[in-house]
Structure 1
């Protein structure tokens, strides 16, 4: 169906009269979606027959279909499938009525990947190149007129006349009141002079100079040329201003085995020019790009000699050579060697009558070597090695790679590196040297002796030597000390010679306010002998400091790897608070005055409960500590890997709950402050005392979430029924109740008896959802049936 609709639109556009098409398609047809590749051979045959029946050509309907959205590329495909190799596109002008016109010629360009390495082939594969003549230039005075050209003749001034005259097939132009003239074969300049002279005889003001005559070339005729040996050979209708390269481009360039160097331009059965495309590609010269004339023939014969150039050249590929051209010419075609090329010689593989052979061409032979057909030249890379390299690194001011000179000694290289650093270890330097067999050896140097004038110590260097000057800093261990405890920035610090405890305290940001005067220093024990009787691993040193000014009475010197611990004062407790909210007389934040402050103590400090307080609605909300969550994470519930219960519990605690609820029995607390329900408070606790409410809220999987007035004579089931009962997903026997103080109770069953929890004012009844149960599949039913049948057979057999 998708193919029939656009085909119908196309046939409707093509097979009506042009006038009717312009009226109807403008209203209802869009040809922009037509894809010619989707049309079958029967569709193309039908289009041909309809064109014949309507006595129309594809060129006649072209302006209409292009104006209705069909792309030029699709139109070209359609015309090619109808049997044409070239397509005349709609006449174009450059913007005004006086611009020169010319029927353009378009040809489909297809990328030639098979011959892409042939030098010059890219010139004819690039659709952005076409060598079309420029129609905007002034009328060329040497242009030869012929049948089909169109002249614009104007007389302006005292007398006026304006007309467009066409050169007829007899080569004549006819001007009203002036006469008929033969201009065929004349240049535009000569024809202009002839026409002006004739007009001056008729228009008297032209002869007197009161009027002027203007003649311009308004339309360029089309000529016929023939291409032989191109990728798309055939007869072409092109502009009379077209050149050889323009025609070659239309034909797709030389064929697979045709020449790029000896293309023949034949006129009147004579070769008037041998075209060498390399002359244009290499030198940019267009001396071979002659203008074409009607019935010209461009013949592209087969090539005679081609060679391949590979490797390190700027433009590798397949090149065509002429007789007498040398390897130097081939290099010029390839734009020369690239930066990594080995230029001393080039390897060439030649073909003999029986086999291949290899030949090396030295650089001195480049100008004389004549390539042979089928030669394969390979330009290799230079070696990845240096002829005069030497390097130095380590304790010198400019470690780097330097040039090597014969006779260079170690001190010469040190001098090139701007001398030794202050930390240089002069008793020994190392030279890594490559031996003639490419193995390496180390040569030691006494730089101190060399500096003092010892000629033997000032060793003679060789190329590729790698000199290393050591630093005394490399021989020293990186010492550090550690400080911990009541210090602003505890951590590990570098040890420096003469470092004291006072210095380290300042580096670590000073003592905190909780620091005591007691400091413990743990120092490692060093000994040349093992003392099995001494069980100590470290030596402990206790000292006192003045915590107020970060100083000590005696400036204690530290040693490497000391560990310093600043102890905390025995009593240092910052005030911590709890929050009291709800139905109390003085809600707000209260400081814990006692380490064992209980809920009764704090509520009494808050003025006690108000008259509106619900004594059954006292509870504590305690923040869940991150340490508690970590403990839950570390508990192994020994669940299946696919079970997510533990993860859900952790996420619930960390993300949703954040607080744990502690129910408080306030009646019991008032009777006995020593009761377990009189909870000891922690910092951050929130005491909530709810206001008395008489309703009972019912939520969850019930028909109506609502709050029912409290009736002490009614039970659990009454309130569920009061909201319409449970819905189809409700699980009534698992219903539970949450009391005002946060305590919860669930329904219980014993045998056939059911016990529901007691309902209190301001409680909340929750009906949970039934768990989803997966139904057994047909296969599972059959499997169970088979198992039962097998068991039955076993029992019958056993009791026979």
Structure 2
């Protein structure tokens, strides 16, 4: 039903539109109006928009109220993405660039320039409805079709709406026709008020403008949508441009013409409005006027360091100064002295002209059509600055002034330097020529600040850099200095770099400072470490001669004499020198061992090289009466590291053996999940580094049982253990109370005996001291010797049961033995 109603209404409205000049005589039928009203409001609005009909004509809503509103006269045009890639633009600032790179970037920047002013009309017209809410100025000329609102008050109160007829007169009640031809709104108001006051005694009046007449104008030339438009009688040139969508891509913004009765009566330069806000040329239109937009004249492209890079339209005899004003002036980083203009010569060849925009001659240069003005950038290098970096509170660039010193920039140790700043070693990096080559000078920063009048506080030059080091890291701050020294080494010259290694705080490579000697190199490296051998250090030097080539000599130096500034020892450094600082013979860092458990004085003891376990046990007061020396656990870091490495190798071998079994034609009896669980258990085992020791033999003084100690050794002596543990593939792994005389088989029986998967023939006893007693070396399987307190019986898994994986016995042994050692340690 709704579809039929819409069809009916559409046919009726279409017929009314197609009638052309007779449209004013056609009125919708009552049936059409009622059906239109029955439609939803959104559908009414859609039909009205589609066919350009005011819904109030059909619904009658306009008879009761008039709503003044500004319709949307333009919708956005489709725009291209003209975003400038700043990262590519910045490629011009790189240190090295090829000719093709420069040309490509310049061309891209030129292609991304927009025509100035055209984005003002970045839309297309959507309606021809006139704007009706514009205030009426006093000089507005009254004409046919305008209406006046006249309000009378005083002795009588009346209100009239009077329309100006085609003869230019209004019909005023009781006053007759009044001609308003050639009068402005101010003059009409004065005339009517005068006539009312003369003819109507005791009545005053208020006169305002009512509905304004519409006028028909033409927009021609290079407009976005040229044609005939109905606009308000108050419309100006710019409003006509907006209604028609503005100018197209070749239209002129600077020579818009108003033609009236075949004559040009006005010109509008939109640049006056856009650049200076001058709307004096935006004259009011009259009915029948033609807004003519000619094609644009010449143009100039402006790029580089201007505030508004764009393509600007030219008028006759405009200069570079005019173009710079169009571009809103130069950026602060511009270098106008070296500006260039690309111009086509008379032979149609592109040429480049240098223009100095700081001189009148350059500014007064006439601009030609097609010119490309490129304002170059100034150098990014700061000419009169001092750079402060490193372990300072406020790093950055500071102004250089004549006579400026290091202490002037960093006057306070506490206020300007970090806590970790090195007060003995800072560097002053200075440029020595226009090529940017540098030389390096050491600054004793503490003395420079503390003695500002001394030679320790040097005066600074422009572009100097002060690098303050700390006591944690020097490599990052030294890296760019070392790199620069290497780069400036030319024609076979050796870079001014030396090396220091050995027992110093910061070994490495350092720049050779002015008048550098061995002492300064020691200071650069942070000084000597504890244990440094000061009687003799070695300086390795390369001697280069064209006849003999390169020879190496080794010079022995006394660092004691170097620190005392003995000239014979504190020699000057040369490129590629290497200073090696030795360590004292037999020097060692403090070593510590730990003794816990059943000793009289457990704790951590410092040891010297060559000290034995017997010696430390004596220092710890010996064993207590409750000690179980056969159950002692001795741990060593080097053994732990070796065991962990071997464990990793074992895991790799087991993984390869599992993979090899999977590739054989025999069906493996071990599943994937079982093999992965086995590998995970092995990889998760953390070795303890247990070393078997015989404490009883050591106590008796047997030298072969004694052990030389290493750093981080640990001895754990548990109390007497009256238990026997049974673990592995038994029915009930458990710990049993020790009974003298009981044998291996009896303890195994107490744990329920071996499981089906057990390999009883490979069972063994892990003795309390960590040694292992294997079945082939024992006789307790045949009613043999009795067990001892603290022993552990281990029944391994049958490796044949696990598809002949021969490494299983090693895996289970490692797991069990580690578990026993950990349980002893954790019990203390």
TM-score by length of 2: 0.48
The structure that is helix-richer by fraction is 2
